[in-house]
Amino acid sequence: MATFTAPEQGKVRTTLYLTQENRERLDRIPRGKKTALMNKAIAAALEEIEREENAQKFLKMLETIQPVKTELSSEQMVRMLREEKEQELLDHKMKHAE
């Protein structure tokens, strides 16, 4: 794939090989809109790839999480969060961290 850079415009020119079907479909798009369409499609595809990679990293991180010891049960913590007593929960955590 050949790549040419035009830094003053912040754009890069590249050669992209398309299937015949995609080429025919792109030929129906007006000239000025093809680049925008391709950039949008590539950005969406790359975001999806990054989202999948991040999900995999997150799942691997979950496997390494160690249990946290606390005097409060999970039910007590959830109840405090539902009752909007986050500060009490944090104060309790800080008191026992010292």
Whether residue 7 has pLDDT greater than 70:
no
Considering the domain architecture, whether residues 26 and 3 belong to the same structural domain is answered as: yes
pLDDT digits (tens, 9 = 90+) for 13-72: 889 999 999 999 999 999 889 999 999 999 999 999 999 999 999 999 999 988 877 788
Whether residue 84 has pLDDT greater than 90:
no
Considering the domain architecture, whether residues 54 and 24 belong to the same structural domain is answered as: yes
Considering the domain architecture, whether residues 54 and 79 belong to the same structural domain is answered as: no
First-to-final CA distance of the chain: 59
Considering the domain architecture, whether residues 9 and 41 belong to the same structural domain is answered as: yes
Provide the residue type at 40 as one letter: K
Considering the domain architecture, whether residues 78 and 94 belong to the same structural domain is answered as: yes
Return the DSSP state at 67: P
Q: Tell whether pTM > 0.85.
A: no
Task: For the beta carbon of residue 76, count every other beta carbon within 10 angstroms.
Answer: 13
Are 80 and 88 a contacting pair, CB within 8 Å? yes
Pick the closest to residue 86 from 77, 95, 94 (CA basis): 77
Provide the residue type at 3 as one letter: T
Q: What pLDDT is recorded for position 95?
A: 66
Task: Identify the band that residue 77 occupies on the pLDDT scale cut at 50, 70 and 90.
Answer: confident
Choose between 74 and 68: higher pLDDT. 74
All residues at 6 or more sequence positions from 14 whose CB lies less than 8 Å from its CB, including other chains: 1, 2, 3, 4
Domain containing residue 9: 1-65
Provide the residue type at 37 as one letter: L
Considering the domain architecture, whether residues 76 and 53 belong to the same structural domain is answered as: no
